[in-house]
Amino acid sequence: MSNETLVTLQGWIGGEVALRLAGDVPVTSFRVGCTPRRWNRRTETWGDAETQWYTVNAWRGLAENCAASLHKGQPVVVHGRLAARTWTGKDGVAVTTHEVEAVLVGHDLARGSTVFTRTAAATPAEPGEHVAA
């Protein structure tokens, strides 16, 4: 067991999904906004809490599938490794952002439907290995 922090995000894609190459490896980056809902006992109503934004990075085949499938404004579920990155902005101020290296990404089917298209397997199955169609 590793000491990585794994998270699952449920939110909305906040911008365009960008595909680029890191060397010879495809990587996709996009922002996901998560707005928690809170029950206010005093007013007996639901309300939105502050939106939290995460940068999601997906690599290799997942990157290509994200670029082909995801668009701004769509609801998604993302599962992956959480990391905090600190960098210095142009104004000299240190900024901390939260990034998720995605392990899996999918549309949030509680909010709509989607069509699945299987991609070709990267490597052929070994003799006797079952491959689902």
Q: What's the mean pLDDT when you consider all of the chain? A: 90
Q: Within a domain: residue 1? A: no
Q: What is the CATH number of the domain that holds 14?
A: 2.40.50.140
Digit-coded pLDDT (tens) for 101-128: 999 999 999 999 999 888 876 555 555 5
Residue type, 90: K
Amino acid letter, residue 101: E
Give the pLDDT mean for 16-28: 96
User: Which residues form the domain of 20?
Assistant: 6-107
Give CA–CA dist 73/112, Å, rounded. 12
Name which of 83, 77, 82 is nearest 105 in CA terms: 77
DSSP letters of 31-82? EEEE--EEEETTTTEEEE---EEEEEEEEHHHHHHHHHH--TT-EEEEEEEE
How many domains, in total, are found in the chain?
1
pLDDT, one tens digit per residue, over 74-100 is 999 999 999 998 989 899 999 998 999
Banded pLDDT at 3 (limits 50, 70, 90): confident
The pLDDT value given to residue 4: 86
The answer to whether position 125 is within a domain reads no
Give the pLDDT confidence score for residue 1 in this predicted structure: 52
pTM of the complete model: 0.80
- What mean pLDDT is predicted for residues 54-69? 96
DSSP state of 115: -
Contacts of 19 (CB under 8 A, 6+ apart): 26, 27, 28, 63, 64, 66, 67
Is residue 39 situated within a structural domain? Answer: yes
> What is the C-alpha end-to-end distance of the chain, expressed in Å?
32
- Judge whether residue 61 has pLDDT over 50: yes
* 121 lies in some domain: no
